[in-house]
Amino acid sequence: MKKITISKLFLYRHRYGIGYALLFLAFVALVFLTPLLSPDGLSTAEMESVVASHDVSFESAMSGNIVDLPYHLLQKLSVTFLGLNAYAIKLPSIAIGLILGILLILLLNRWFKNNVAIISSILTVLSAPFLYLAGSGTPLIMLVFWPTLLLWLGSKINGKVLKKTFYAFLFALFLILSLFTPYMIYFAIFSVIYAFVHPHLRFMIKTLPKIPFILACLAVLGIIGYLGYELIKYPTTLEELFFMHDFSWGTFLNNIKDAFLPFFSWTGNIESVFLAPMIGLASLALAITGLISTTKGFFASRNSIASVFIVFTIIISGFRTDAAVLIIIPLAILTAHGIRYILEKWYGLFPENPYARVFGLIPIAVFLGLILIASYAHYVFGYRYNPMVANEFTDDLALIRENIEPGTVLLITGDTLEYDFYKILEEKENYTISSDTPSSSDKEKIKKIATLGKWPARLPYDLSRIITSSKSTNSDRIYLYE
């Protein structure tokens, strides 16, 4: 009987290709379908983002309205063509999240061996923090997208001999675009300082062709100069991009505490759009293992960048609490280091036994599966049923579409943001949005009226129906009158 050689089996020879294909299919399905399941509704930040996107125009951009401009342009296009609905609002983040996930996979694949890269990629792009970013219709995802893209382009500059100039120009272009995102100027400064301080990266910069490198630097400096001129003319924009309103060290330190509490608190009793804990205990243990393993050879660029990035994330979180999501990038790198360390130790026990190597993957696969299932279940059910988090989202838009006939006057009794948001619905569809309570003289021209939010003042109509929400508080959301 012929002896079976594991290395010649089809599944063994193509294991990485099959693994990446399955990961890609699962990732695409989750990124596009999960926002329909969770979070259940829209957050205040998403409504603010839609209003800001709706107000974007050439004139407003020339008047200093450039904060998160690339994202708001995409969101405006999405809502314009698909209408004002939850999926259209989230679609830009879904598309950017898809690109971001691919970039993370490519980055990890470039820095680590295939077996390490594929496992760490699964844990990163299928995790709760990443799925939340990809399903949130706010520019927050850009805070993670730009550094990941720039890190990947930097790795390509470091590795490619013939295309260094091309990737250097791309790096300069996207570095300029990233400056439209608040506080990314600090990442740009951080990247430049890190590149010139780190000996390996400094040597790599010296090997770049001189003339293209100088032209790229001049282009970056020119755009930064233009932005600086515009920001001096519009100081409000300058504050949004670079500074924190009413800065104080007490506020700065409290912001850091509030920023990371949802990520590492296991009680879940935190009022935030982030579901606590965003980082599971098993994933955190892998990252800590990776951090310890990087102490040997710390000054290699892929080792030190994770540690330095953590410090950078902590500092930026002092200015903006939701900037703590940047922790996704160093955690992905440290998780890969942890997995590499564990696999090396296991393979070191059986250096010449292929069967032990193969069967050693079984407990790793079980461990990986448990982490993913627990993380996904925590994400979907937590955002729907944890009252501390679920009440940060409103399903009013869906209730309006399901229960109010076009042509009905919708009276907004809430704040200005709600009125501005639903006024967009009036432009897209046959609804009439108002903030003024109708009088008796309006009964002839207004046959049906609905009020959103609190019980309004007495109306000259008969209450016909009350529409409720599944949220644990403020369940009476819409009152229909005829």
User: Is the same domain home to 358 and 227?
Assistant: yes
Contact 292, 284 (CB under 8 A): no
User: Is the same domain home to 374 and 426?
Assistant: no
User: Is the same domain home to 279 and 408?
Assistant: no
Q: What is the structure's pLDDT at 209? A: 66
- Across the range 474-480, mean pLDDT stands at 75
Asked if the structure places residue 71 within a domain, the reply is: yes
**Domain C-terminal end among 329, 363, 390:** 390
Full DSSP string of 195-220: HHHSHHHHHHHHTS-HHHHHHHHHHH
Question: Looking at the predicted structure, is the pLDDT value of residue 352 above 50?
Answer: yes
Grade residue 233 by pLDDT with cuts at 50, 70 and 90: confident
- Which structural domain range is residue 424 located in? 395-481
Contact 117, 336 (CB under 8 A): yes
Contact 455, 430 (CB under 8 A): no
Question: Looking at the predicted structure, is the pLDDT value of residue 370 above 80?
Answer: yes
User: Is the same domain home to 330 and 476?
Assistant: no
The length of the chain is 482
How many CB atoms are closer than 10 A to CB 362?
A: 9
Asked if the structure places residue 263 within a domain, the reply is: yes
pLDDT tens digits along 278-325: 787 888 888 888 888 777 765 555 667 777 788 888 888 888 888 888
| Residue 373 falls in which region: left (phi positive, over 0), alpha (psi -120 to 50) or beta | alpha
- Backbone φ and ψ of 279, nearest 5°: -110, 120
pLDDT tens digits along 97-108: 888 888 888 888
pLDDT tens digits along 21-68: 777 787 777 777 777 777 778 888 888 888 888 888 877 777 667 788
**Domain C-terminal end among 349, 365, 390:** 390
What is the DSSP pairing of strand 432-434 with strand 409-412?
parallel
Asked if the structure places residue 7 within a domain, the reply is: no
Q: How far is CA 391 from the centre of its chain?
A: 20
Question: Looking at the predicted structure, is the pLDDT value of residue 3 above 60?
Answer: no
User: Is the same domain home to 285 and 425?
Assistant: no
CA distance 20 to 10: 16
Asked if the structure places residue 10 within a domain, the reply is: no
* Alpha helices per DSSP H over 86-183: 86-111, 114-125, 128-134, 142-159, 164-178
Grade residue 265 by pLDDT with cuts at 50, 70 and 90: confident
**Domain C-terminal end among 361, 390, 419:** 390
User: Is the same domain home to 361 and 215?
Assistant: yes
User: Is the same domain home to 383 and 464?
Assistant: no
Retrieve residue 439's tokens: 């009088």
Q: What is the structure's pLDDT at 451? A: 74
- Across the range 423-431, mean pLDDT stands at 77
How many CB atoms are closer than 10 A to CB 431?
A: 21
The distance between the two most distant Cα atoms of the chain, rounded to a whole number of Å, is 96
Contact 435, 426 (CB under 8 A): no
Burial 6-38 (b: 16+ CB within 10 A, else e): eeeeeeeeeeeeebbeebbeebeebbbebbeeb
Query: Is residue 158 classed as helix, strand or coil in its secondary structure?
Result: helix
Residue with tokens 């969770």: 38
Contact 291, 339 (CB under 8 A): no
Angle value at C-alpha 265, between 295 and 283, nearest 5 degrees? 45
Contact 126, 375 (CB under 8 A): yes
User: Is the same domain home to 412 and 306?
Assistant: no
Sheet containing 432-434: order of strands:
432-434, 409-412, 449-452, 476-481, 463-468
Q: What is the structure's pLDDT at 297? A: 60
Q: What is the structure's pLDDT at 1? A: 45
Asked if the structure places residue 1 within a domain, the reply is: no
Asked if the structure places residue 102 within a domain, the reply is: yes
Distances 395 to 43, 184, 384, 474 between C-alpha atoms, Å: 9, 32, 11, 12
Angle value at C-alpha 413, between 411 and 414, nearest 5 degrees? 130
pTM across the whole model:
0.85
- Report the domain count for the chain: 2
User: Is the same domain home to 104 and 156?
Assistant: yes
What amino acid occupies position 4?
Answer: I
Q: Percentage of the chain surpassing pLDDT 70? A: 76
CA distance 60 to 177: 18
Contact 48, 136 (CB under 8 A): no
Q: What is the structure's pLDDT at 326? A: 87
User: Is the same domain home to 119 and 232?
Assistant: yes
User: Is the same domain home to 158 and 232?
Assistant: yes
User: Is the same domain home to 130 and 167?
Assistant: yes
Asked if the structure places residue 11 within a domain, the reply is: no
Distances 221 to 62, 129, 317, 441 between C-alpha atoms, Å: 20, 34, 27, 63
